[in-house]
Chains A and B, each alone.
Chain A
Amino acid sequence: MMAASPRVLDLQGIGKTYRVRGQASASHLRALDDVSLAVDRQQIVGVVGESGCGKSTLARIIIRLETPTEGTALFEGTEIHALRGAELLAYRRRVQLVFQDPYSALAPRMSVEDAIEEPLKIHKIGTAQDRRLQVTKLLDLVGLARELGRRYPHQLSGGQRQRVNIARALALNPRLLLLDEPVSALDVSIQAQVLNLLRDLQQELGLTYVFISHDLRVVNYLCTIVAVMYLGRIVEYGPLQVVFQQPRHPYTLALLQSIPDHTTHSGRHTVVLRGEVPSPVAVPSGCAFHPRCPLAREICRVERPALRSTGPGHVAACHFAEEVSATALIPHMAASTSWP
């Protein structure tokens, strides 16, 4: 059964505000601000950003653990947050999430088999026998030995636990898989195993991924499209190769420059972005990045830049996107031990 449109996910103008009790009085935490994102079938979309950028909030909104304050979120044309009852259950079969911390995402008293079988039980799929069979197939799919099925989470290694999470997420044959920092908690060598697995699975099963991470190196390896987020906004979006090789937003460039690389030893000459990330409770006016941006001018403080095209399929939210380049920035961002 072919879906009419290749568009799997369509987020438009998503905003999320939390009311928080700060140290002073009640304030508003703007976790997401006018975020629009489109994901097509079989794309691997990376969402990158540092703390406070809202990427995890975005994932929770897509997966319906949170509701947006503004905006629409469409999955294959249907508004996600209007679903109820059986429709909601059907949605859950099509969109799944792999959590960041492999250990806490597994119920401590459930065996691996039970955990993987759980979604099948919840959706009343097949007989008990069918389900057991499916569980073994899934264990094979993620490269786990069948004997591990009887073990409990605390008896597994980090990499094994994450494979269980992946198996569980795939049990319902979802169309869209959200992955929230799935390898951040793993050692480098285990990370490689899981990344290879994710890549193979995507190709074998024709999955669509939304891959959230703060580690650009991992995103660079796995994703084809990338969205860069800062303080609840998407500041740049486009084909990964293009964005990483010719970024059009100063923040993207700074992020890329901040990554230390042992093969090129570029870390030795890292350009350092000054200052701290402001709290989402007090988002700067105009362009959220302007207090730290070496290219900032008066207009940046006043007017929020819209995402505009800087190439085919490539958009950036910067008034001076054309000027963004390493040579333009380095004199402004000299490595320094202090900041304003």
Chain B
Amino acid sequence: MVTTTAAAKPSQDSSLLEPVLSVRHLTTEFETRAGLFTAVKDISFDVARGECLGIVGESGSGKSVAALSIMGLVDYPGKVTAGQILFDGTDIRTLNGRELRKLRGSQLSIIFQDPQTSLNPLFTIGRQMIDVVRAHRRCSLPEARDLAIAKLNLVGMSAPETRLRAYPWELSGGLRQRVAIAMALLLDPLLIIADEPTTALDVSIQAQIVSLLRTLKVELGFSLIFISHDLGVISSIADRVLVMYAGRAVEQHAVPSIFTVPGHPYTSALLASAPTLQSDRTLPLRVIEGGLPQMQDRLSGCVFAPRCGYVQERCLRAEPPFVPLSNTSNHEVACYYPLVDAHASDGKGER
């Protein structure tokens, strides 16, 4: 029997306090003609049950590769070369292909940026959704169909029975993304990874989708990793934020504190360079000079040092570790001279 109500109930024997995802020292590398390229280096973070972790970064930050690494979707010439990915207690890296496939789409699902390419244009939506259900569960066609309809209802699609017969290209971007969300929810996942799900959408539709994800997360209790380069969007859905730069994790803290008291110079500079409706037009936007380091330039020391306004000698010698500001702090920063101390950061609103 297939359940139509959705509640991502954690497994009986795991405590609700255990994070649903625990990543430790994850490193992913790619073989290229120019040498070994480290797309993700030594990142560690947790995602608690029912929480949304926002991963923020610009291009080259490695955030998308990190998502793919967690899903086990990194293939030649890339490889996850180090680290532990504990999902609901199991290390994903130890799973074989078959076990991974069982996990993917059911307990762990992903929503991509471009629904145009993540949905198969040759098949109807109904067919694709039913395929997903029957790949993971034994149930009859009508049962799978009912489940698909239930999920489409959940994401707010009108006339879901008719929609099942539609092809992806018949729908607008916003509707396609709703379908993608419905598909991700089909088997009541514990964790959904959303990789820039709203970047390709209009602003008003983006607001709808973000609102939808927020509501569903509360109603159904799943955890969410929301990846974006847009600080505003992240602030509207994430409970905590991980900031990535050039493959490294540079800061991790709760919302809204990370926006009010950023600890890492990159975070601070990023926040200052993003125009908002409240920006002072008379001042030029703060700029981060220079660009991402080129592959051959990556030398020792902090990867952000060449562009950092606060760089000191120590920064050039060895990469700073990603550590909490203090023993009791939840605010982690990879910097020898963080911009705030533990006291200041904890003083402001913690969730």
Contact = CB atoms under 8 A, between A and B. Distances in A.
Partners in one complex: yes
A212 to B, nearest CB: 14
A159 B289 CA distance: 12
Nearest to B155: A337
B253 to A, nearest CB: 13
A262 B59 CA distance: 20
13 contacts: A157-B291, A188-B58, A214-B203, A220-B275, A259-B203, A262-B276, A265-B256, A267-B210, A267-B235, A270-B210, A272-B204, A272-B211, A340-B158
A211 B277 CA distance: 17
Interface residues of B, number: 53
A244 B210 contact: no
A80 interface: no
A217 B202 contact: no
B276 A263 contact: yes
A261 B285 contact: no
A338 B89 CA distance: 36
B207 A272 contact: yes
Nearest to A195: B285
Residue of B233, B271, B274 most packed against chain A (CB within 10 A): B274
A287 interface: no
A277 to B, nearest CB: 7
Interface string A176-218: 0000000000011111110110011000000000000011111
Contacts of B259: 262-263, 265
A258 interface: yes
B265 interface: no
A120 interface: no
Interface pairs A-B: 7 shortest CB-CB: A267-B236, A262-B235, A260-B232, A338-B156, A192-B273, A50-B202, A258-B207
A225 interface: no
Contacts of A157: 291-292
Contacts of B237: 267
Interface in A267-293: 267-268, 270, 272-274, 276-277
Contacts of B232: 217, 259-262, 267
B161 to A, nearest CB: 15
Interface in B145-187: 155-158, 170, 172-175
A258 B201 CA distance: 12
Interface in A148-191: 157-159, 187-191
B116 to A, nearest CB: 13
A262 B255 CA distance: 9
A159 B291 contact: yes
Contact of B285 (A221, A262, A264, A273): A221
Nearest to B275: A221
Given A260-B230, A339-B158, 14 more contacts: A158-B59, A189-B287, A191-B273, A196-B285, A196-B287, A199-B284, A214-B202, A215-B203, A261-B235, A262-B231, A263-B276, A273-B208, A337-B155, A338-B158
